[in-house]
């Protein structure tokens, strides 16, 4: 069974731009969660999607948004990028949301 | 929100040694998971263990939910065990809160 796939693996953007990251969950998994990992703040929860609905949301500004498609694939979008958005963005999938989460390899976003 | 504290923050072992990592959390939870992040940044799920004890090879974990802590045991450590170990919890399956992690270095 294929694991969680995140694309792209690396991305370089400049301040003020926007970016879209993609996550394909394990086949059959309906819950997709997004996390931001930085050296200063550690791993922080962004949001969780289940059956195309945002079910939980972390404490991030509205510039961070996401969506989930009918095939459970998910995208997250960050608008008006700031230097502090430089981070490793991780996606995790699970069957329903309260089972073991399986992570993708992440997208490393650098803001210049 | 729930606070998650992991100890120790850093641990250096010789190959073959045993270790215990601890995770304390500030509220009742119904979801607790242990993860290993390897030096390449990949996060691997080790255990889903909101309560009780589980074992998987050289690793085992115990969660005492009533006392709000979980322990991860690593026996006969190997250099490939190096990396950062994270505990993550959630209450009512809301957002997962991660601890700051324990950085383990196993020397040959």
- Interval B34-76: pLDDT, tens: 999 998 899 999 999 999 999 999 999 999 999 999 999 999 9
Asked whether residue A28 carries a pLDDT value surpassing 80, the answer given is yes
pLDDT at B92 over 80: no
Residue B8 is predicted with a pLDDT of 98
Give buried/exposed letters for A63-75 (b at 16+ CB in 10 A, else e): ebbbebeeebbbb
| Closest CA of chain A from B13, distance in Å | 23
Q: What is the mean pLDDT of residues B71-88?
A: 97
Is any Cβ of chain B less than 8 angstroms from the Cβ of A45? yes
Residue B13: its pLDDT value, please?
96
Are B61 and B34 in contact by the 8 Å Cβ rule? The answer is: yes
Confidence of residue A41 (pLDDT cuts 50, 70, 90): very high
Chain B within 8 Å of A100 (Cβ-Cβ)?
yes
- Please tell me the predicted confidence (pLDDT) of residue A97: 73
Closest CB to B98: pick one of A42, A88, A106: A42
Here the tokens at position A52 are: 């195309």
Give the integer Cα–Cα distance in Å for A105 and A108.
9
**Mutation test of the interface with chain B: which of A45, A55, A95, A109, choosing the one with the most B Cβ atoms within 10 A?**
A45
pLDDT at A100 over 90: no
Contact between B71 and B23 (Cβ < 8 Å): yes
Q: Give strand pairing partners of B25.
A: B4
**Can you list the positions of beta strands (E) in chain B?**
4-7, 10-14, 19-25, 31-37, 43-48, 52-56, 59-64, 69-74, 83-90, 97-98, 102-107
- The number of CA neighbours under 13 Å toward the Cβ of B5 is 8
Mean pLDDT of A49-54: 94
Q: Which residues contact B48 (CB under 8 A, 6 or more apart)?
A: A99, A100, B31, B32, B33
Is B94's pLDDT higher than 80? no
Question: Measured between alpha carbons, how far is B12 from B34 in angstroms, rounded to an integer?
Answer: 19
Q: Residue A98: which pLDDT band, with cuts at 50, 70 and 90?
A: confident
Structure tokens at A6: 């995140």
In a mutational test of the A interface, the residue from B84, B89, B96 whose CB has the highest number of chain A CBs within 10 Å is: B96
Q: Tell me what the mean pLDDT of segment A82-110 comes to.
A: 93
Determine the residue of chain B that is closest to A87 in CA distance: B41
Closest A-chain CA to B91: A98
């Amino acid at each position: 069974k294929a694991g969680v796939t995140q694309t792209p693996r690396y991305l370089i953007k400049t301040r003020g731009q926007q970016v879209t990251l993609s996550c394909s969950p394990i086949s059959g998994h309906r819950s997709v969660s997004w996390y931001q990992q930085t050296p200063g703040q550690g791993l922080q929860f962004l949001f969780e999607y289940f059956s195309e609905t945002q079910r939980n949301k972390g404490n991030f500004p509205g510039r961070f948004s996401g969506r989930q498609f009918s095939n459970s694939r998910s995208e997250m979008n960050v608008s008006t990028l700031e230097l502090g958005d430089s981070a490793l963005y991780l996606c995790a999938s699970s069957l329903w949301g309260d089972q073991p989460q399986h992570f993708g390899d992440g997208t490393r976003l650098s803001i210049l | 929100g729930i606070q998650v504290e992991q100890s120790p923050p850093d641990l250096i072992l010789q190959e073959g040694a045993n270790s215990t990592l601890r995770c304390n959390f500030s509220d009742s939870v119904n979801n607790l998971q242990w993860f290993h992040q390897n030096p390449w940044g990949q996060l691997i799920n080790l255990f889903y263990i909101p309560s009780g004890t589980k074992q998987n090879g050289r690793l085992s974990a115990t969660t005492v939910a009533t006392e709000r802590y979980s322990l991860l045991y690593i026996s006969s450590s190997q250099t490939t065990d190096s990396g950062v170990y994270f505990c993550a919890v959630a209450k009512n399956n809301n957002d997962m809160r991660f601890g700051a992690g324990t950085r383990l270095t196993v020397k040959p």
